[in-house]
């Protein structure tokens, strides 16, 4: 019995050692695997941040926007749509004279500048029926004379059918 007890104790010691050894091995394995996985993760992170495959994509440029359409509103001297003009004029293209209907005032070019008068000088004659009606916000119609003259050149009123009472388009 003494020997069997000794052998039993030796066997128990071996079992205990093998249990402890297997625990140490499994802890070691876990530590090694953990370190290995962290190393792989860090290397993949670093490669992912710096790795580029192929050529970088070319930059894409959007085409320039098209130019705005030409304005189709009233001319600069005319009132905006929906607003009433402050001044109503008759323009006589043949003599290049403006008559302000509300103020009964003529505007004509003489002596190197524009003049205003309640009557025309003896050297300027107008044909009563050959005028174009203009509506303007300006109290001095000659400020826009170059534009008006282009729209209504002398000698064109009869040909274009423009006459008394025609409004600006």
How do residues 92-121 score in pLDDT, each as one tens digit?
999 999 999 999 999 999 989 999 999 999
Q: CA distances (Å), 21 to each of 14, 35, 165, in order?
A: 10, 21, 117
- Specify the residue for token string 């297997």: 22
Higher pLDDT: 125 or 157? It is 125
- What is residue 118's predicted lDDT score, i.e. its pLDDT? 94
Q: Supply φ then ψ for residue 13, to 5 degrees.
A: -65, -40
Q: How far apart are CA 116 and CA 118, in angstroms?
A: 7
Q: How confident is the model at residue 167 (pLDDT cuts 50, 70, 90)?
A: very low
Mean of pLDDT values over 119-144 = 88
**pTM attached to this predicted model:** 0.48
- What is residue 16's predicted lDDT score, i.e. its pLDDT? 58
Closest CA to 109 of 98, 100, 122, 119: 98
DSSP 108-163: EEETTEEEEESS--TT----TT--EEEEES-S-GGGGHHHHHHHS-TT-TTTTT--
Q: Does an H or E element contain 75, and which?
A: none
Do 13 and 20 touch, CB atoms closer than 8 A? no
- Mean pLDDT in the chain? 76
Q: How far apart are CA 102 and CA 64, in angstroms?
A: 49
Q: Mind listing the pLDDT tens digit for each residue in 40-86?
A: 888 777 766 555 566 766 777 778 878 777 666 666 666 566 666 68
């Amino acid at each position: 019995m003494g020997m069997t007890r000794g052998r039993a104790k030796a066997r128990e010691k071996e079992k205990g050692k093998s249990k402890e050894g297997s625990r140490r091995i499994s802890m070691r394995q876990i530590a090694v695997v953990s370190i290995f996985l962290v190393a792989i993760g860090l290397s993949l992170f670093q490669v992912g941040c710096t790795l580029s495959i192929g050529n970088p994509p070319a930059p894409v440029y959007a085409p320039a926007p098209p130019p705005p359409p030409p304005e189709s509103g009233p001319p600069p001297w005319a009132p905006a749509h929906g607003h009433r003009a402050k001044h109503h004029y008759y323009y006589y293209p043949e003599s290049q004279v403006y008559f302000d209907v509300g103020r009964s005032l003529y505007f004509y070019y003489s002596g190197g500048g524009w003049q205003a008068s309640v009557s025309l000088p003896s050297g300027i004659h107008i044909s009563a029926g050959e005028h174009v009606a203009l509506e303007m916000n300006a109290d001095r119609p000659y400020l826009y004379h170059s534009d008006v003259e282009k729209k209504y050149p002398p000698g064109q009123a009869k040909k274009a059918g423009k006459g008394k009472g025609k409004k600006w388009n």
